[in-house]
């Protein structure tokens, strides 16, 4: 089965209907908190990040205060998220860069975001879509897996998958579809033993029933 605009529309309509109430799992109240939480979310769960950001944002409520933080103090707070030494270095470095280069305001372009410590293309896309309302489709391992199973792409390269998805999915849906595909990958289209019998897009999936 080759992906077409018509088929893609049917898939996305069914997914949006099934996951109508999907929301971000990361808790944040500002662009500062979003950026820091996104960096902390690497190689861990959103739940684990949420467990530490309350204390972190209480002690360091903005870029200015985090830029001045002692790395040892930050490491102590975020230790349970894993890779805490590198993450503490990144969120402090990120805060310093925002203060020094951008006057304390998080930049709103992908190019500028990706120059900040700890922020790659996926993280930049999350920040753009969730923090600035700029259409972007962040691609993680769940989305790569689902895009390949649905025949949007035949690649493990996040950029290739992003381009394949955005070629078919209307820009206005990118932010929602990012969240929906992650939820779908965590609940039904899992890496092992996907629950194809309960899947709302079973009829449109070339991989349905074929993965054990």
List the catalytic residue out of 23, 140, 154, 210.
Answer: 140
Please list the helix, strand and coil fractions of the chain in percent, rounded to the nearest 5, in that order. 60, 0, 40
Q: What is the C-alpha to C-alpha distance for residues 66 and 88, in angstroms, rounded to an integer?
A: 10
Q: Is 122 in the active site?
A: yes
**Separation in Å, CA 89 to CA 113, 139, 146, 148, 177:** 17, 24, 33, 35, 32
Find the catalytic residue in 46, 122, 157, 193: 122
In the residue annotation, 157 being an active-site residue is answered as no
CA angle 175, 177, 181 (to 5 degrees): 130
Hunting for tokens 């753009």 — which residue is that? 128
Determine the Cα–Cα distance for residues 192 and 197; give it in Å rounded to an integer: 14
Active site residues: 122, 140
């Amino acid at each position: 089965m080759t992906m077409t605009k018509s088929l893609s529309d049917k898939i996305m309509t069914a997914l949006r209907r099934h996951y109508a109430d999907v929301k971000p799992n990361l808790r944040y109240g500002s662009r500062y908190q979003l950026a820091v939480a996104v960096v902390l979310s690497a190689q861990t769960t959103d739940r684990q990040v949420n467990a530490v950001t309350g204390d972190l944002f209480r002690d360091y409520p903005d870029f200015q205060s985090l830029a001045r933080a002692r790395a040892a103090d930050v490491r102590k707070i975020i230790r349970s998220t894993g890779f805490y030494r590198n993450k503490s270095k990144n969120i402090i470095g990120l805060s310093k860069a925002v203060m020094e280069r951008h006057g304390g305001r998080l930049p709103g372009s992908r190019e500028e975001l990706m120059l900040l410590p700890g922020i790659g293309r996926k993280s930049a896309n999350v920040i753009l879509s969730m923090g600035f309302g700029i259409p972007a489709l962040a691609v993680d391992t769940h989305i790569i897996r689902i895009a390949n199973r649905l025949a949007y792409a035949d690649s493990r390269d996040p950029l290739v998958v992003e381009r394949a998805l955005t070629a078919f999915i209307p820009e206005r849906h990118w932010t929602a579809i990012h969240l929906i595909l992650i939820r779908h990958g965590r609940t039904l289209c899992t890496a092992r033993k996907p629950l194809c019998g309960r899947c709302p897009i079973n009829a449109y999936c070339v991989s349905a029933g074929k993965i054990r």
